[in-house]
Amino acid sequence: MIDNDKPQDQAAEDQLQDVTEESPDNGGDESSEDALGETLAALQRDLEAAKQEILYAQAETQNVRRRLEREKDEARAYAATGFARDILSVADNLARAVQAIPESLRTDDSLKGLVTGLEATQRELEKVFASHGITRIAAMGLPLDPNQHQAMLEVPSNEVEPGTIVQELQSGWMIKDRLLRAAMVAVAKKPD
């Protein structure tokens, strides 16, 4: 009888000893030796099969551990994705507000503090984005990249090559190496 608490090698030896003790001593009878050899061979096959199963189980455990570690790293790196997408509209509105301020109001002493505060808020927001791996996609003057840019319209132009971005309608953003939002752009085309 095999004791489940013992290692498999020890259990196999105990089983072999039980078989040798139970078999009557026939003075070296050949059939007894054959039975003993068959039992030994069967135990060795079982032992090899058990070793293989253990190796497969260990490999599977290691694969699961690696996969979970990778998923944990990705979850940590991209945890802010949903929030970042939501806050981009706030950043867009702030940028539009700063751009909409006419130069005459920028120099007006009564509004100078407000303008400075809006610009400082915009810089701080971009700094927070950068600290979380959220970066703006370059667009102006570059060829259209369908992985980062979304062409919204074509503009006839002789000044630049067709397919070159001539206007950014909405900024695009990346979070680390993933696209957060494609830049909406206008691209040049040959005039008719």
The pLDDT tens digits for 98-154 are 999 888 888 888 888 888 999 999 999 999 999 988 999 999 999 999 999 999 999
Quick check: 54 pLDDT over 80?
Answer: yes
Calpha distance 54→97 (Å, rounded)? 65
DSSP-assigned letter for residue 164: B
The pLDDT tens digits for 83-102 are 888 999 999 999 999 999 88
Q: What is the mean pLDDT of residues 145-167?
A: 92
Domain residue ranges of the chain, discontinuous segments joined by +: 8-76, 81-189
Quickly list DSSP for 82-147: HHHHHHHHHHHHHHHHHHHS-HHHHS-HHHHHHHHHHHHHHHHHHHHHHHTTEEEPP-TTSBP-TT
Calpha distance 156→188 (Å, rounded)? 6
pLDDT (0 to 100) of residue 152:
94
Q: How many CB atoms lie within 10 A of CB 132?
A: 14
For residue 154, CA distances in Å to 139, 147, 160, 172 come to: 15, 18, 12, 18
81-189 CATH pick, 3.40.50.300, 2.30.22.10, 3.30.420.40, 2.60.40.10:
2.30.22.10
pLDDT-derived band at 35 (thresholds 50, 70, 90) equals: confident
pLDDT-derived band at 26 (thresholds 50, 70, 90) equals: very low
End-to-end Cα distance, the chain? 92
Structure tokens of 153? 């319209």
pLDDT (0 to 100) of residue 62:
96
Sheet of 165-170: strand order equals 149-156, 183-189, 165-170
Task: State the pTM of this model.
Answer: 0.62
